[in-house]
Amino acid sequence: MILGRVVGRLWAARQAAGLTGRKLLLVRPETATGDVSPRLIVAVDGLAAGPGDRVLVAHGSRVRDLTVGADVADKDIIVGIVDDSALERSSS
């Protein structure tokens, strides 16, 4: 999984049937030093996440089946929302 920040949302004008009605969020991965990466991931949300939220994005066919459903045409899925206070960094 990656840890990231929700930085936006998008809607498709035309889309595969497997994305109809799905909420798509823009996520920037977080680096080990707490910065956001320049990389952008579009993930399917099933947890009511929103802009500014720190989220966990998992990747995989079975992750999708277990969460948003086997008929979704994507396998980057938001599987957790993490409060900023619920992350402990060690110094090592």
Residue 57 to residue 35: CA distance in whole angstroms: 17
Give, as one character, the DSSP assignment of residue 1: -
Q: Is there binding between residue 23 and a copy of itself (CB under 8 A)?
A: no
- Position 41, amino acid: I
Size of the site for a copy of itself (CB under 8 A): 66
Least gap, CB of 85 to a copy of itself (angstroms): 9
Q: Is there binding between residue 30 and a copy of itself (CB under 8 A)?
A: yes
Q: Is residue 90 packed enough to be buried (19+ CB in 10 Å), middle (13-18) or exposed (0-12)? A: exposed
Contacts with a copy of itself by CB under 8 A lie at 1-3, 5-19, 24, 26, 28-33, 36-43, 46-48, 51-52, 56, 58-63, 66-67, 70-71, 73-77, 79-83, 86-90, 92
